[in-house]
Amino acid sequence: MRLTQFSVKGFKNFRQKIGLEEMGAICVIHGENNIGKSNVLEAMQLFFQLLKVQDQDNALVLNQQMTFSDIEQLGFIASDIFNLAFPLAIELNATFNIENLELKEAGIEELLPCSKVQINQVIKPSYGTFNYQLTHFQFADGTDVTQTKGTEAQKTYAKQIAKFMAQHVLPLKAEEAHDRLILIGIDRLMSSREREARRGVVPQTLCLQLYDAKESRERGYRNRWKLFVRTLQKFNDMLGEGEFTVLFDRKTGRADLAFESSSSILTPIEMLGSGIQQAVALIARLLMSQATFVAIEEPELNLRYTLQLRLQEIFDELIKTSLGPQQIFLTSHSPAFESGEHFYAMRTTQNGPIIERRAIQGAESFTQHYAQSYAPTVDKRKAALCYVSNEGLILLPERIRKLLEIEQGGGIMLLDDENGQVELLSDEKFYDLVEPLIDEPK
């Protein structure tokens, strides 16, 4: 299943309709802070959660009153999602492409073509309650089951499709349903339960999921664990030879993720660098959630640029497997995660924020990162493709890091002279230079 178009109006600060068109496997939204990038992902999540309304009745629900409690059960607080200054109805519109094989695996016999399914949902505040409306449910042949001409059989079929879109039921475990879309926020936690049990970037609930997958008798679930371990071997140049494992303590009921080196030394995940911890947590989420769609806020946090690029390569690879999500939606300030032919530029106007689809070549300019910009040769010396972020962080390409002998990172010194010339040295080379001066007798 693929989400090809999404638009929203009336949600939080979106006074006018904004949307994403021609959505690919990885969709990246760039924009300034506090403009509403995360609100787009939350609106997507609300769309999928509202589809769960169709679980409540035998007939297709076209109109229903909802309470504050109903909205909370969907994971939202009404006062947080409606624009308080301009209390507009929230309008959510999405277009999907669903393969016949997916329906067959879910036990749904095709009645109307699902190569293009367009759904509109509206939720309005109404005197202390909220009115939910399904205003559009159209299939590829043009049949809209919300209209009076839709037959009961077609409406029943549409209800099946809505429930299929809202949740994914695992084969062999019909009692277990997983949300089609999960949102991984900046805190990288998925629930209040995880916040209470948090001890590190990788929470205990996620470690337990990894252990269950490792020990599972179900082939698909166990294969997710194997793919997780295999994928993380891409970080062996930073961690050394070895692989990740997860251990379970029956007395405490805790599971602990650790890196086991080739010499059988176990290093708990909490003792590794924060960047590695975050990358591990994100990859685990992508594989353990069972979600078809994964939305991530700012995956670049705490990651140096080269690690961001590696994480983007992993996202690309996981999407191409049958075990990972089918689409990933990102908000980011970094150009490292681009994929496909375009990105989404979010900017503010007098009428509120808008989103524009732009060619991928313009991502570095829009985000004001120039890590991959062209650098000429000067006096037979090659100019390094470096940049300094607005936080003062310096990116050095691999070629320069090798020259400085700090391939895995390390301290650097910048020496400037009275002529304005600046020289870059590793800490070791700097101290080799200054120690003889310090040791000289006065």
How confident is the model over 349-358, as pLDDT tens digits? 888 899 999 9
**Does 124 share its domain with 243?**
no
* b/e burial code for range 363-387 (CB count within 10 A of at least 16 → b): bbebbebbbeeeeeeeeeeeeebeb
**Does 350 share its domain with 382?**
no
3-state secondary structure of 285: helix
Domain boundary at 250, 274, 298, which? 274
The CA distance from 293 to 312, in Å, is 16
Residue 25 lies in a domain: yes
**Does 83 share its domain with 54?**
yes
**Does 99 share its domain with 124?**
yes
**Does 36 share its domain with 129?**
yes
**Does 356 share its domain with 232?**
no
Residue 313 lies in a domain: no
The pLDDT of 49-55, averaged and rounded, is 92
Contact by Cβ (8 Å): 269, 280: yes
Query: What does the CA dihedral 112, 114, 115, 119 come to, rounded to 10 degrees?
Result: 120
**Does 125 share its domain with 172?**
yes
Task: Tell me how many domains the chain contains.
Answer: 3
CA distances from 9 to 13, 38, 41, 52 (A): 9, 14, 13, 20
For 179-209, the pLDDT digits (tens) are: 899 999 887 665 555 544 555 688 999 999 9
More confident residue, 331 or 363: 331
CA atoms within 13 A on the CB side of 7: 16
**Does 157 share its domain with 245?**
no
- Residue 40: pLDDT band (50, 70, 90) is very high
For 401-440, the pLDDT digits (tens) are: 888 888 767 788 888 888 888 888 887 787 777 766 555 5
At 174 the pLDDT is: 45
- Residue 362: pLDDT band (50, 70, 90) is confident
The pLDDT of 14-36, averaged and rounded, is 93
Structural domain harbouring 66: 2-180+338-367
CATH number for 356: 3.40.50
3-state secondary structure of 236: helix
Residues 6+ apart with CB under 8 A from 229: 243, 244, 245
**Identity at 223, one-letter amino acid code:** N
Range with the lowest mean pLDDT among 212-216, 290-294, 421-425? 421-425
Residue 113 lies in a domain: yes
**Does 74 share its domain with 161?**
yes
